[in-house]
Amino acid sequence: MAEFALPKNSKIQKGKDFDATTAETKRKKTFKVYRYDPDSGENPRMDSYTIDLDKCGPMVLDAIIHIKNDIDTGLTFRRSCREGICGSCAMNIDGRNTLACTKAIDEVNGEVKITPLPHMPVVKDLVPDQKHAIAQYNSIEPWLKTKSPAPNRERLQSPEDADALNGHDGHGPAACILCFCCSTSCPSYWWNADRFMGPATLMQAHRWIMDTRDEATGERLDQLEDPFRLYRCHTIMNCTNTCPKGLNPAKSIAEIKKLMVARK
C-alpha cells in the first residue's frame, strides 16, 4: 500500500497565544497569524493575537501593524502604500487571497486567519518569495517596443485605445498592480508554475499586446505560443474571483487565445 506524507515544514503547529485586551476592552478580535522562519529549523505555527480594535484602524493591515508595533515585534510582513496601489500586502485572509490594506476587519466573522500567499516559498512569516513570478513577468518584456523612429513628443493614443487598456470603469488590464493574488489562486499555476505564466503575467502580456503604440504584437504572441505558457489556463476563474482590484485576468487570457487563432 502506498503511503504519503507531507513535507516536514508543511505541518503547521499550534503557536503562542497573546491577549492584549483588558476587562475594559469593549471591542476585541482574535487574529491567527502564520509564523515561519526557515532558518530556525522549526515547523510553521499559527500564533493567536487577541487585540483591542479601538487601538487600531479598520483594516486588517492596521491590525497587523498594531500587532507588530505593540505586541510582537518579530512579526514579518510586506506593506507600503496602504491604499491598494502597490500590492505589497497581498496575503491570504479568511481563506481568500486579497490585500490586507483594503480588507476590512468587520468583513470577517469570528477569528481572522492570516497566511502568506499559497504555493510560493515563504521567506519568513507572511512574506512569500516572488522571485520566480517576477522573473516570469520580466520575460514578457513589459515595456513599449517599437521599430519606427521615435517622435519628437510622446507617442499619442486615442481615447478609445486608452480606454481599451484602462477599461471604461478603470478595471482594464493596465490597472493590474502585480500583487499575484490571482496567480496564487490558480490551480494550474500551483502545479505548473515552472512553465505556465500564470494569470497576472498573462494579463500584463495582454496589456502590451493590445497597446496600439506597441509595434511588437507578433513577437509577443510568438513568445506565448507554447502548450504550457498560455494554454495551461483551463478557465477555472479563481483568478477573476479573487482579484482585489476587480479585474478580469481570465478575460485577458481568453483574448490572447482569440488572437492566436485569428492570426493562423
Q: Is the dihedral of CA 203, 243, 75, 70 positive or negative?
A: positive
Based on the fold, state whether residues 136 and 251 are members of the same structural domain. Answer: yes
On whether residue 218 sits in a domain, the answer given is yes
Based on the fold, state whether residues 192 and 214 are members of the same structural domain. Answer: yes
Question: What is the model's pLDDT at position 1?
Answer: 64
Rounded-to-integer distance, Cα 60 and Cα 54, Å: 13
Rounded-to-integer distance, Cα 206 and Cα 209, Å: 5
Based on the fold, state whether residues 214 and 165 are members of the same structural domain. Answer: yes
Question: What is the model's pLDDT at position 4?
Answer: 64
What type of residue is 177? Answer: I
Rounded-to-integer distance, Cα 106 and Cα 29, Å: 10
On whether residue 17 sits in a domain, the answer given is yes
The DSSP secondary-structure symbol of 191 reads H
Based on the fold, state whether residues 118 and 169 are members of the same structural domain. Answer: no
Angle ∠(155,161,162) on CA atoms, nearest 5: 75
Question: What is the model's pLDDT at position 263?
Answer: 82
Based on the fold, state whether residues 58 and 83 are members of the same structural domain. Answer: yes
Closest CA to 206 of 173, 166, 161: 173
Q: What are the cell numbers at 201?
A: 503575467
On whether residue 150 sits in a domain, the answer given is no
On whether residue 243 sits in a domain, the answer given is yes
Based on the fold, state whether residues 121 and 218 are members of the same structural domain. Answer: no
On whether residue 253 sits in a domain, the answer given is yes
Domains in the chain: how many in total? 2
Per the DSSP assignment, residues forming a β-bridge with 96 are 93
Closest CA to 252 of 169, 175, 157, 187: 175
Based on the fold, state whether residues 223 and 238 are members of the same structural domain. Answer: yes
Q: What are the cell numbers at 248?
A: 478580469
What type of residue is 25? Answer: T
Based on the fold, state whether residues 14 and 75 are members of the same structural domain. Answer: yes
**Host domain of residue 50:** 8-128
CATH code at position 88: 3.10.20.30
Based on the fold, state whether residues 116 and 23 are members of the same structural domain. Answer: yes
Rounded-to-integer distance, Cα 94 and Cα 259, Å: 37
User: Checking DSSP bridges between strand 96-99 and strand 13-19, what pairing results, if any?
Assistant: unpaired
Rounded-to-integer distance, Cα 162 and Cα 166, Å: 6
Which residues, in sequence order, are CB contacts of 164 under 8 Å at separation 6+? 172, 210
For the chain, how far is it from start to end, CA to CA, in angstroms? 50
Rounded-to-integer distance, Cα 120 and Cα 107, Å: 26
Based on the fold, state whether residues 136 and 256 are members of the same structural domain. Answer: yes
The DSSP secondary-structure symbol of 128 reads E
Rounded-to-integer distance, Cα 46 and Cα 17, Å: 9
Question: What is the model's pLDDT at position 200?
Answer: 98
Closest CA to 85 of 198, 183, 201, 175: 175
Based on the fold, state whether residues 225 and 254 are members of the same structural domain. Answer: yes
On whether residue 155 sits in a domain, the answer given is no
Rounded-to-integer distance, Cα 200 and Cα 181, Å: 8
From first to last of its 264 residues, the chain has per-residue pLDDT tens of 666 666 767 788 999 999 999 999 999 999 999 999 999 989 999 999 999 999 999 999 999 999 999 999 999 999 999 999 999 999 999 999 999 999 999 999 999 999 999 999 999 999 999 999 999 999 999 999 999 998 899 999 999 999 999 998 999 999 999 999 999 999 999 999 999 999 999 999 999 999 999 999 999 999 999 999 999 999 999 999 999 999 999 999 999 999 999 987
